[in-house]
Structure 1
Amino acid sequence: MKERFLLSLEYDKVLNILSGYAALKGTKRQILSYVPSGKKDDAELLLKKTGEAYKLLFTYGVGGIEFYDEPGDELERASKGSSLTLAELLRVARLLKSARIIKNAFTSVNDEEITLLPAIANCIYCDQYIEQEIFEKILSEDKVADNASVKLSEIRKNIKRLNEQIRATLGNIIRDSSKYLQDNIVTMRGDRYVVPVKNEYRSRVKGFVHDQSATGSTVFIEPVEVLELNNRLRSATIEEQLEIEEIIRDLSHKVGLIADRLYYDGELCEELDEFCARAEYAQKIKGVKPIVNDKGVIDIRMGRHPLIDSKTVVPVTLKFGDDCNFLLITGPNTGGKTVTLKMVGLFSLMAMSGMYLPAAPDTRVSVFDEVFCDVGDEQSIEQNLSTFSSHIKNIVEITSEANSKSLVLIDEIGAGTDPDEGAALAQAVLEKLLDERSFGIITTHYSRLKEYAYTDKRIKNASMEFDPVTFAPLYRINVGAPGSSNALEIAKRLGLDEQICKNAVALLSEDKLSFEQVLREAEKTRQKAKEELDELEKIKAETVEERDKVVAEREKLSLERQRLFEKAKAESRRVVSEKLLEAEELVDKIKEILDKDEISSGDIITARTLKNKLEEKKYNLEEKETFETTDNRLTIEDAKPGVKVFIPSMNAIGDITTLPNKKGEVQVAVGAMRLDVKVKELFFATKRKTKEKPDKKAVQVTRVINTDFKKEVNVVGKRREEALDEVTRFID
């Protein structure tokens, strides 16, 4: 693809933003130099890798590439046997560390949908032994660790001892000869320890003079007492340097053996870093993975230009490529035609580069072999080209090279010359592009092209919406209808003298006025219809929402009723079980009395008492007061103990026994059951009004009591069963 067309669409600015999310310098260079691929398979592969990186980073929380200074030519020098510097060895160790971390991170996730990036990570070579050895032996770019080798450790211990001995010896000299010294300090000259002696006393301190002050008043003498120690220190220092060089040579040799693998590691890390950058950019712009095709179909849903602030950009929805090859966008200036045109081109380039798009899901874009673009004023003074000439130069190139695999984007086609000739030229160019079966977007103000779009099904009118009252742009596209330029109305709104605008209107032809008036009236009607449709959709959505709420509430009540019913059943079983248990205990006590060999009068009284208690356990089946429900829902203030309430979920009436708790629940007694119910689910229950029944004739019941009865029963000699029956009848 040609670079100048990419620059016209500001593709380079998108790449520059994307490169900011890369961790490695090499990755940044690759991104900035990337050229989109026109092959569908390549685009889909890139998008799949971006999707895997997105999932690894933002679903599994995997970290990206850890920054390292990429090695220069040190790998090549190491492979040829050269020794590296400490800084170069540290860069190699950081590369090994970053490669190891990213490999472990990307291969630790077990997800069937993530396969490509882990496969790349698996190819990374790791050598943790060399990595740790370098970091352990080299502390910084100018310091080697004492324990880098046993020999180096011994040498440095010896150097330390020699330094201490020299300082101790010089300290004694300073104390003994302080009157000869300029200062009571120890200093160094040429890696040798010396003391500053007054020039007039130089003969008093035996040793070698290494230097003197600028004034000549002080000479720096190395006393003979430390001469041998200084010599030994010098030798130890040389020996230390040789050992460090040996350590560096050994590490460099080890790096040289794996130099080729490290080259490859760097390439793999940059590739992984590139897709991590795409994933982070996608997350930043709230992008979605586009559906890629190679049929020229563009179906953008709520697309946002990636270079415009997301807080101010107006989403655009448009579609072409299946039912028509071109969109002809018309409408007022500053209405968003050029932004929409550039967005379409950028979206295609971004998808071909494996980038997510700032749009709604199910957005479709096509790959193209070439994206042609003619946007804005490209007048060139150096080439002696006017605006129109520059425009025509681009048109010549586009018409000669565009084909069915091309996306053509032309802003203000035919502008910059005589309107009639420009419109005719624009229509001829458009026909040529349609015959070549190219795809694209053309923006214009020519009415002739608007009319032409109605006669050829390969191109469809579209317009940028504007407020029909204020003529202010709304930055929304309406596919299917042309738009009016509204040049005179906009000029009036921007402050042009009203009389000048009226004169301009008078100079327009009747056909032009009629056509523009039809477009304006059509736009007003369309917007009114759209508002009514939006209102209907809103009402429909609200109705559906209300219906869903009713259904949900009904299901909730049903579940609550079922819950309370189950709770009531459990409570009933508990009450019955308690009654049965108590009854069984009473029967057992009666049996114990009857099982006695001799039954006293006290036993008989006890048995009769137990029998009466057993009778009391029976359910009271007498007629009770009846209540009916009301439509008055209970409030927190009304919920007091003793209030009769109706529970809809159980279809039952009960009495409140407690005050509301913090949850707004009260305890309701329904028979023997105790239920916790929310106050807002309760209704008042009032006593049912019943008709007075006619008095029935009183019936007198006379009970004859026999006072002549036996006070004892004799069961001596009878079997147990017979005796039990006799005693039972006697007690009754």
Structure 2
Amino acid sequence: MNDKILYQLEFKKIIEQLSEKAETSLGKDFATKITPSSNLSEVQKWHDETDEGVQVLRIKNHVPLGGITDIRPHIKRASIGGMLKASECLEVASTIYGSKQIKKFVEALEEEEIQTPILVGWCEQISNLNNLERSIKNCIDDYGQVMDGASSKLRTIRSQIRSYESRIRDRLDGYTKSKSQMLSDAIVTIRNDRYVLPVKAEYRGSFGGIVHDQSSSGQTLFIEPQSVVDFNNKLQESRVEEQHEIERILESLSSLVYEDADYLHENVRALQQIDFMFAKAKLSRNMKASKPTMNQEGRILMRQARHPLISDDEVVSNDLEIGEDFTAIVITGPNTGGKTVTLKMVGLCTLMAQSGLQVPALDGCEMAVFDHVFADIGDEQSIEQSLSTFSSHMTNIVDILDRINNNSLVLFDELGAGTDPQEGAGLAMSILDYVISHNARVIATTHYPELKAYGYNRDEVTNASVEFDVETLKPTYRLLLGVPGRSNAFDISKRLGLSDQVIDKAQSMVSDDSRSVENMIASLEESRNKAERNYDEAAKTLGEAEAYFDSLQHEYTQYLAKKEQYEQKAKEKAQRIIANAEEETKEVIEELKQLKNQESVKEHHFIDARKKLEQQKEGLQDAKQPKQSTKSASKKIEKILPGDEVHVATFNQSGHIVQQVNEQEYEVQLGIMKMKVAKDQLEFVKRPEKEKTKPLATVKGRQVHVKPELDLRGHRFEEAINKLEKYVDDAILAGYQQVSIIHGKGTGALMKGVQQFAKGHRSIKNYEFGSANEGGTGVTILKLK
């Protein structure tokens, strides 16, 4: 892949995003050098790495890569005998520590039985180097300073330095107190690494010593008094000794780095790979991308694919496929409709996939590994070469045609544009034929109406278009495969206010063939939209059916579980009853034996004993005799009618017959569901009795068939309100002045519904809760007009 195609498809922006996801400079450096590969096995290996990183992030959400830096320049300088700075030695130690942390992290994943073979392989290349890390940490603190304890000599030297500094300050502090009027400021300062006092110029002779500096005005002299010159000299000598000792320590540490140079290089390479791996994984998570299945047959299949560089709130997802049933796609449609975006999306996703990056599409997508990706997109006019737009495009196309093979992806934007329409259309079809003859994959966008029929005459080609909403006069950016774009000029002009007279005359100038093509395209669009609507409705219905099935299956599973529990409890209860009965029987027998030995036995003794035995017999029969099931208790009847209560053997549930579907099937209401059930699975239970008409109350000397109260408990809300509405009408006709509505307390929803109904009914004067003996807040009294 040359730099030109990477620039045209904006692959550099993907690299920038990838580099930002890296935690270390090592990973960033690796990300900036990423390039697409045409080797299938290599690309598949890269995708396995990325996918493993995605899985780890999904489970752990982070990877410990802190403290790791690019120490390769430090290793190189140490290897040629150079001395590392204290801060550079500290970076080496910090990187060693970071490598140990990542190893611990991977070991923890293994303990949790999370499979990460690639990560484990890289971590096996990392050496701990504890001795080198410890040697550096014993000499250098977290701020990159050599510590006193780095050597006994350094500790002694620094102790001397602090002693000299203390003495000098004590002497100079005495001057600031005793001769403060001679000083510009009563402080001790430093010039040329020596402690001095800011003395007024007129008092120069009062101090003696050495003048190291003066103020810009000349009014202040920075003098080192004679009494501290010797101490300052000794201080400087100690500082020189300190620097020599620090250098010796750093040289020693540098030599240790050199000794472990090979191990450090291996560590750095492994850490770089790990950071790069998780940078790819983070980019994938950010783009909501998925791992593509790679092939070398030129097959691309993406569902709900999105352009990687367009934000989520603006991007439009599209389905796209090529390489299976056809090898070329010709996209037509209006300007700014999304044709070029679609073209770049395919090219950019291909480059990403061939670089081991996941693509922003649904799971199950397929991408091809091409030898070459060619593109002619945008205005490549060259002012320096004095080329026109057409010439510039044609120069690029000539170069593409010279280099294509059967494993190439070619992207043409506005093919044949910039010249005479008829010649441009002919040239475009000829170029497409040439590319197709080489069995390359090609996607082209065009405005030429001649190319709309191009796909119908060639099996390898399919038409596509970008949808345009005539109502809003805006593109929807949806790609429609198999449907060529149609001209919307007349519809748009009409909506913008152009008179019918002008539009009719314009339509009369269009050839019959063109009108037929436009009508055909319109019919295809309508059919496609209808099919999509039907698919959405079918998918929605399927989802609801699956939800009902899952709910029913869950309830049936719960029923079976409870059934086993109840049977177990019944068995345990029966066993207890039997055990008690046996114990009672033994006691009765023993009691009778004792009575037999006595001289006189009263009759009531036998009566009591017989009564106890009869009670145990009854209890024993109750324990052993199982309760009659619904099915066994059901009755047989030759003909089942709507409304009959039946038992469905398949689901072990009772329901009501809605209607007879045919001779072998009935529609049955089971709870909230209606189901078709075979006749042989139904068991008749009972038939509802017909209500007998009889007077229920006497109002104003006449008998009426309406009760003065209505019980709504146990009804669903909508059913209860419908029943209430009918009841109130009947009560008014019956001449009642007030009626009682029993709704119960419960959640209060039914109570609120009754009172809301009462507020809006024109024949109800007011309402109130019942008294304590009438049911309280569980009853509402309606006052009727």
Question: What's the TM-score, normalizing by structure 2?
Answer: 0.72
Identify the match of residue 225 of structure 2 among 222, 225, 229. Answer: 222
Q: Is the 8 A contact 2:390 2:417 kept in 1?
A: yes
Structure 2 counterpart of 1:23: 23
SS at match of 2:294: strand
Tell me how far apart the structure 1 counterparts of residues 467 and 206 of structure 2 sit (CA, whole Å).
103
Which residue of 2 is the match for residue 101 of structure 1?
A: 101
Matches within 5 A, 1:217-296: 220-222=223-225, 224=227, 228-296=230-298
Match of 2:432 among 430, 433, 440: 430
Give per-residue Cα distances to partners, 1:289-317, cap 9 Å, x unaligned.
Answer: 10100011111122122122223433212
Question: How do 1:36-47 residues align onto structure 2 when only pairs under 5 Å count?
Answer: 36-47=36-47
How far does residue 83 in structure 1 lie from its aligned partner after superposition? Answer: 1.4
Deviation at 1:277, TM superposition (A): 0.6
The change in CA–CA distance for 1:603 and 1:152 in structure 2 (over 3 A counts) is farther
2:343 aligned partner, one-letter code: L
Contact 1:348 1:365 in 2 (8 A): yes
> Once the 2 structures are TM-superposed, how far is the Cα of residue 86 of structure 1 from its aligned partner?
2.1
Q: Which amino acid aligns with 1:515?
A: V
Contact kept in structure 2, 1:62 and 1:106, CA below 8 Å? no
Q: Distance in 2 between matches of 1:265 and 1:410?
A: 46
Kindly state the Cα deviation for residue 20 of structure 1 after the two structures are TM-superposed. 1.3
Q: How far did 1:484 drift?
A: 1.2
Letter in 1 for 2:151: S
Q: Secondary structure at the match of 2:444?
A: strand
* Residues 249-298 of structure 1: per-residue CA shift (max 9 Å, x gap): 11122122333443443333222211111111111112111010001111
Kept in 2, the 8 Å contact 1:107–1:121? The answer is: no
Matched residue type, 1:47: H
Aligned-partner residue type, residue 145 of structure 2 = K
CA distance 1:500–1:145, change in 2 (3 Å)? farther
Do the aligned residues in 2 keep the contact of 1:192 with 1:222 (CA within 8 Å)? no
Aligned partners of 1:112 and 1:12: how far apart in 2?
34
Gaps of 5+ in 2: 631-646, 655-685, 691-785
SS in 1 for 2:477: strand
Q: Indicate if the aligned counterparts of 2:297 and 2:368 stay in contact, CA closer than 8 A.
A: yes
Work out whether residues 50 and 279 of structure 1, in 8 Å CA contact, stay in contact via their aligned partners in 2: yes
Look up the match of 1:398.
400
Q: Determine the C-alpha separation between the residues in 2 that align with 1:173 and 1:527.
A: 97
* TM alignment of 1:486-505, pairs within 5 A: 486-493=488-495, 501-505=503-507
> For the residues of structure 2 that align with 1:351 and 1:92, how far apart are their CA atoms?
35
* Conservation of the 8 A alpha-carbon contact between 2:191 and 2:222: no
**2:460 is the counterpart of 1:458:** yes
Conserved? CA contact 2:470–2:492, under 8 Å: no
Deviation of the 1:428 alpha carbon: 0.7
Of 500, 514, 524, which aligns to 1:522?
524
Q: Output the CA distance in 1 between the equivalents of 2:322 and 2:375.
A: 17
Deviates more, 1:232-241 or 1:166-175: 166-175
Q: Quick check: 287-296 or 257-266, which moved more?
A: 257-266
- Residue in structure 1 matched with residue 79 of structure 2 by the alignment: 79
Structure 2: how far apart are the matches of 1:533 and 1:197? 95
**Match of residue 410 from structure 2:** 408
**Residue 714 of structure 1 corresponds to which residue in structure 2?**
none
Query: Residue 141 of structure 2: SS of its match in structure 1?
Result: strand
Q: Is residue 2:157 matched to residue 1:158?
A: no
CA–CA distance in 1 between the matches of 2:153 and 2:594? 103
Kindly provide the CA deviation profile for residues 52-81 of structure 1, in whole angstroms up to 9, marking residues without a partner as x.
222233225561532544247433222121
Q: How much does 1:5 deviate?
A: 1.9
Q: Show the counterpart of 2:709.
A: none
Deviation at 1:500, TM superposition (A): 5.4
- What is aligned with 1:309? 311
Q: What SS is found at the alignment partner of 1:59? A: helix
Amino acid at match of 1:93: A
Cα deviation code 1:525-582 (max 9, x no counterpart): 3323443344344434434443444344334333333332333333333333334334
1:363 shift after superposition: 0.8
- How big is the shift at 1:153? 1.7
Deviation, 1:188, is 4.7
Residue 210 (structure 1) shift: 4.3
Note if contact 1:471-1:489 (Cα within 8 Å) is conserved in structure 2: no
- Going from structure 1 to structure 2, the CA distance change for 1:227 and 1:607 (only over 3 Å counts) comes to farther
8 Å contact kept, 1:330–1:485: no
| Aligned mates of 1:340, 1:189 — CA distance in 2 | 70
Change over 3 Å in CA distance of 1:650–1:465 after alignment to 2:
closer
Counterpart secondary structure, 1:505: helix
- 1:444–1:248: structure 2 CA closer, same or farther, 3 Å change rule? same
CA deviation after TM superposition for structure 1 residue 352, in Å: 0.4
Question: Which residue number in structure 1 is paired with residue 209 of structure 2?
Answer: 208
Shift in Å at residue 340 of structure 1? 2.0
Check whether the contact 2:347–2:411 (CA below 8 A) recurs between aligned residues: yes
- Shift in CA distance, 194/419, structure 1 to aligned 2, threshold 3 Å: closer
* Cα distance in 2, alignment partners of residues 17 and 7 from structure 1: 15
CA distance in 1, matches of 2:504, 2:119: 67
Q: Report the counterpart of residue 420 of structure 2 in structure 1.
A: 418
| 8 A contact 1:57–1:64 mirrored in 2 | no
**CA–CA distance in structure 2, aligned partners of residues 36 and 398 of structure 1:** 19
CA separation in 1, counterparts of 2:337 and 2:220?
87
Counterpart position of 1:550: 552
Instruction: Answer with 1 or 2: which has the greater Rg.
Output: 1
Which deviates more from structure 2 when the two are superposed, residues 329-338 or residues 193-202? Answer: 193-202
SS in 1 for 2:442: strand
Q: Contact 2:26–2:275 (CA<8 Å) still a contact in 1?
A: no
Structure 1 residues 511 and 192, CA gap change in structure 2 (3 angstroms): closer
Q: 127, 130, 152: which is aligned to 1:128? A: 130
The range that moved more, 246-255 or 111-120, is 111-120
Q: Which residue of 1 aligns with 2:368?
A: 366
Mapped partners of 1:134, 1:21: distance in 2? 30
Deviation, structure 1 residue 427: 1.0
Q: Which residue of 2 aligns with 1:298?
A: 300
State the distance in 1 between where 2:395 and 2:282 align: 40
Q: Hey, what's the Cα distance between the residues in 1 that align with 2:91 and 2:121?
A: 26
Which residues in structure 2 correspond to 1:295-694 (within 5 Å)?
A: 295-467=297-469, 472-493=474-495, 501-591=503-593, 599=598, 609=608, 612-619=611-618
2:48 partner amino acid: K
Instruction: Give the root-mean-square deviation of aligned CA atoms.
Output: 3.8
Q: How much has 1:454 moved relative to structure 2? A: 1.4
- Give, in angstroms, the shift of residue 369 of structure 1: 0.7
**More divergent stretch after superposition (229-238 vs 4-13):** 229-238
Task: Report the CA distance shift for 1:196/1:351 in structure 2 as closer, same or farther (over 3 A).
Answer: closer
Deviation by residue 1:314-337 (Cα, 9 ceiling, x = unmatched) = 321222212221122233443332
1:326–1:459: 8 Å Cα contact kept in structure 2? Answer: yes
TM-score w.r.t. structure 1 length? 0.76
Aligned partner of residue 484 in structure 2, secondary structure: coil
The sequence identity of aligned pairs, in percent, is 36
Cross-structure match for 2:742: none
Q: Which has the higher contact order (CA 8 A, sep 6+)?
A: 1
Quote the Cα distance in structure 1 between the aligned partners of 2:687 and 2:316: 61
The amino acid that maps onto 1:222 is: P
Distance change >3 Å, CA 18–CA 227, structure 1 → 2:
closer
Deviation at 1:412, TM superposition (A): 2.0
